[in-house]
Amino acid sequence: MSKLILVSAKSSPSIINRFMQSQTAYNWIYAGHDIRSRIHWEKQLGAAQIRINMANELQQAADDLSEDFNEWIDDLGKTYNSLGWWIGQISEKNPFVSPLYFHICYLKIIIDKVKKSSTTNWLIVVESHGLRRALSLCAKGANLELIEIDRWSSALNSVRKSCASMIYGLWSRVALIRSWLVLCRVSRALCDRQSQGDLVVGDYKGTVLLHSWLRDDSVNDHGEFVDRFFGVLPDYLQAKGYDVKYFFLPLTIVARKSALYDLLKPLSESGLLFPSHLYLQFIDILKAIFFPLIFCWLPKRVPQFRSYCVQPLVAEERLSQAWSSRTSAAYLYYAFAVRLSKDNRRFDKVLGTFENHIWEKALYLGMRQFDVADELIGYQHTTLNWNYHCYSPKAFELQTSVLPDQVICTGSVWAEELLRRGYKSVCIGGALRFDPLPTMVDPSYRDNDKSIILVTSNAGENLTLEVLRNIYLAFGKDTDKRIWIKIHPHLHIDDTHYDSVFNGQIPQHFRIVEESVSKLLPQVDLLIYSSTSVCLEALSMGIPVLSVVPETFIDLDDLRMFAHLRCAAVTHRDLSVETQKILMRSGDDYLDWLSNIKESMKTVFATVTPTSLETFIVSEEISEK
């Protein structure tokens, strides 16, 4: 019978080498996110021990478990329905924040693999102590032979990690207070004249309260505010007689604090800045700090997920969400709605970006409970990533107060998908974020002496590093190609990261580029990506794309909804082969491929027209086909 051998990723691989000398041949799996840690284990265990690439198994498990996971979370919501539940990361199901689903998928595939093996021993290197405990419970329940190395030191490391999480949670809450104080000071300075006048009395009938993301590029070279998410919509609403007011809270400000005054000043000068500082008091900030520590320990107990005991994984998540400053920041949206109601404020519409994140749930819940707006509208400004469970509420959540009254989509494919998932009021407003829409690039204009491959990252550090590692292994010695690497603007990758994935030195034909993606795309022959919507922007310009299937993350590739357009690689060898196929494609093959692209992209990016903009004013629901 095969053996299941568990060891913490924090342990020394040299200890494992000594221990495993007494064992027969074994395969090993790295079950975790940290690509640099995995590389370290690969080097230390050596080529003699076979590491099994789990990318395909992980994504197959993610597809298989997806529906059941969403139903399971929905049942928990029915049991624990409260503000403390809805602002927690477990209810949100966001893979960028919560590793719960990732760990459940690894739990399944590891147990399945060991059960199917009759002679092979399996060494599992585990980052999460919760996953280790869950694997141990499942192994004992299935009568598998289990060996736990460094059991006590792993438990001690878990305690240390929990303490570090608490300390970081306190520090990040202090940072949240500082962010609010800076925003409050800037808002007070800019709104001082308004706050002494017409904004103190009366309601906001005929006003659209708009919430967008504030970034360093939100002001153009002419000193004008540019909404990178809603585009021309605010101007259109004003032309229709609506008074538009922007409000901002710390969670969705991704700009330098020192630049905050300059970013908000154009809004204030145009009379578009809402005085948010008047509708949160310091007592609300204190409540935001302590509320999660008291009420966000949900769910306390959970049923099995399928046949797996996942209580250890949920316990780990409960600790994470209770101490997360993100949970505190989300609570501020609820407190903001409460303060608006106490001042008898009421708006015609409240409009914001829609990803069904915890801060959105808190805002909608508060505004409904205290009757702050006639209509709550969410704009689906980005794509509906595959297996991105935030967008997949089930029956109970769909009937609660945490969703907007209406979701307006960028294209018909997303609207039809939301209807399929159970949303009741959906319409198409056009791709505001991409207006004007990307246009096809004539490939004959690219006269590159060597093929140029653009590698783009999303905002996840470990996924980015995994992609770069595969790029290095595939093209590190292939000097016939030029590799351009564009790092997500919200992600900080330094030399220590590059040293790990590039074995100490960036190859000379690799280049880190700073230009915007829109400027880079027309120059390249191929885009390589993983779980980022840039692939759709590239396809709309007629640029081939190639997806890297990860094993450190759930694959969110948008093109899994367009199987006829998708090309993917699991290993670095696949990456090299598929790249060569694409670059060597004949002209006729390219034209055939292009004809498929054009029709599909029309469903992704709907043109912004007066008719589409009217959907933000008058609800025009579409029906599921």
* pLDDT of the residue at 169: 94
Sequence-distant (≥ 6) Cβ neighbours of residue 156 within 8 angstroms: none
* pLDDT confidence tier of residue 325, bands split at 50, 70 and 90: very high
CATH of the domain at 548: 3.40.50.2000
Q: Does 560 map to a domain?
A: yes
Mean pLDDT of the chain: 91
How big is the chain, counted in residues? 625
Percent of the chain past pLDDT 90, that is, above it, reads 75
| Average pLDDT estimate for 563-579 | 94
Residue 414 has pLDDT above 60, yes or no: yes
* pLDDT of the residue at 196: 43
Q: Could you give the number of structural domains in the chain? A: 1
pLDDT digits (tens, 9 = 90+) for 92-131: 999 999 999 999 999 999 999 998 887 788 999 999 999 9
Among 4-18, 390-404, 529-543, the minimum mean pLDDT is found in 4-18
* pLDDT of the residue at 591: 82
Tokens standing for residue 427: 């319409």
DSSP state, residue 254: E
3-state secondary structure of 137: helix
356 Ramachandran zone, left/alpha/beta (phi>0; psi -120 to 50): left
Burial class (CB in 10 A: 0-12, 13-18, 19+), 485: buried
Q: Does 430 map to a domain?
A: no
pLDDT digits (tens, 9 = 90+) for 191-231: 875 544 444 434 577 899 999 999 988 999 899 999 999 99
- Give residue 563's domain range: 443-604
| Average pLDDT estimate for 322-339 | 96
Burial class (CB in 10 A: 0-12, 13-18, 19+), 496: exposed
| Average pLDDT estimate for 503-508 | 92
Q: Does 514 map to a domain?
A: yes
Nearest to 261 by CA among 188, 177, 211, 199: 188
Residue 469 has pLDDT above 80, yes or no: yes
CA 93 distance to own-chain centroid: 10
* pLDDT confidence tier of residue 232, bands split at 50, 70 and 90: very high
Q: Does 538 map to a domain?
A: yes
* pLDDT of the residue at 197: 41
CA angle 574–575–576, rounded 5-degree value: 90
CA 117, CA 145: separation in Å to the nearest integer?
Answer: 12
Q: Does 585 map to a domain?
A: yes
